[in-house]
Amino acid sequence: MARPIGSSDSEERSMRYISTQGAPESTDFEGALLSGYASDGGLFMPETIPILDFATLRTWSTFSYPELVKQLCGIFISPELIPKTELSDLIDQAFSRFKHKDVVHMSRLKNGLNILELWHGPTYAFKDLSLSCTGQFLQYFLKKRKKRVTVLVGTSGDTGSAAIESVRGKKNVDICVLLPQGLCTQVQELQMTTVMDENVHVFLTEGNSDEIDEVLKEVFADEDFSRRHNLMTLSSINWSRILVQMAHYFYAYFQCTSTTDALPWPVVEIVVPTGAGGNLTAGCIAQKMGLPIELVTAVNDNDIIHRAIQQGDFSVSGAVMSTLASAMDIQAPYNMERIFWLFSGSDSSLVKSLMEEFYTTKKVKLPSELQKKLSECLRSCRVSDEEILQTMRCCWDDNHYLLCPHTAVAVCYHYKYPSCHPRKSRCCLASASPVKFEDSVSKARIPLEIMPEISMLKNKKTRSCTLKRGEDWAGILRCQIEAITKQHNPVIN
């Protein structure tokens, strides 16, 4: 599964992607990008994970965030698919709309609190980083192959708007986004429903994000239907999302280390606010590539990942709980399938068995060996709404620095467990701007200046369809997909 980065150029060109559930066929980056699930229902992962040597890491330590994205993509995307020069141009174009000159920004606060701001993109969420790049890669292949696709996305808050921004107005893409009505913030919902581009189709559902994911999985499971309508997803099911997010960890590490001149390098602890687990998966892969990081996954009251790591209990505990960190209100975090695969030594038979049991019964007891490996490599903590508000207020009082409720989940860990190791720095990943969470900021009794760009959303026209509880959501979605295909190719019935 692992190989040194010093492999020959021909080996680097042969990067293939395989299913976590063991389907015999493999695919290249283009195939993984343009798919939803693998043919057997699994998720795509690289067949081999390169281990970076000291010289490579030392060279990378001086790179900007965009340059790190380019280096990582250059490893996992064959130059035969996208030549290096064109790949670099696509990534530059992806980040051209970001509001910070460095694309991301490290804020250094009191008492060793480092916060990596990943939210300076078009929709003020970290999803913009991976989706801006993925949108560029998608356009590259669609134009090259003279092809069009229909994108299906379920969102718990931020993914939908970032996915829409990455493809809106494109003639060769239609996107259908399903979001849980009333469970996102007003700003999150308006960022989706105010988009009037003809290729954007937004559905408000009377359900939660896990119910949405079940519907999408059902639609993708019909292989003939998916193939006929060129269906794909831009959720973190898509490998391209995971790939770009790996750069967060390399950048955070190099920003938190004062020197990379000698071995052993210091360890940096990175705290990850976690929902579906895509960002956490990216961190696990970076760790396996040789980056000396320790990972902490911080969750809200929907704590299935915390229980899986601590107790081996991967089970749904009742209905999805609505929390202040709404984008993390998930009880079926599908990227845990990738993490199980990583820490089981690529045991696809085990992963298939675990996931089939989980999706059938909603509960799985992890094998003790797998749980042991998870707990050795990952720490976890659960954070309540009360703790979120306390953390937001504490960070404001200490630093005059405003957190979004999701970032507060990570920063709460910092306040709960102050680092006492002299050579270990800590970085909390900031997943969204607080401007999207006016109600939470108000509950924390913190003043918030609303940007004109956000205020204007409330005066715009909206457009969406409602999927009511009890209706056949999958059937309605299929009808919409068929209508889209017929519009662009009338000869298809």
The strand pairing partners of 428, in sequence order, are 115, 271
C-alpha dist (Å) from residue 218 to 179, 242, 355:
17, 23, 15
CA dist 398 → 92, 385, 401 (Å): 36, 20, 8
Answer for the pair 209, 320: CB distance below 8 angstroms, yes or no: yes
Beta strands in 90-136 (DSSP E): 105-108, 114-117
Which residue in the list 70, 127, 217, 352 is annotated as catalytic?
127
Ranges assigned E (strand) in 275-362: 293-299, 313-315
- Catalytic: 461? no
For the record, the structure tokens of 44 come out as 């795509």
Q: At what angle do helices 65-76 and 239-256 cross, to 10 degrees?
A: 140
Dist CA 76 CA 170 (whole Å): 26
Chain-centroid distance, C-alpha 437: 19
Give the whole-angstrom CA distance, residue 164 versus residue 147.
19
Contacts 24+ apart (CB under 8 A), 339-344: 339/277, 339/280, 339/281, 339/284, 339/374, 340/20, 340/366, 340/370, 341/20, 341/45, 342/45, 342/281, 342/284, 342/285, 342/288, 343/284, 343/370, 343/373, 343/374, 343/377, 344/370, 344/373
Catalytic residues: 127
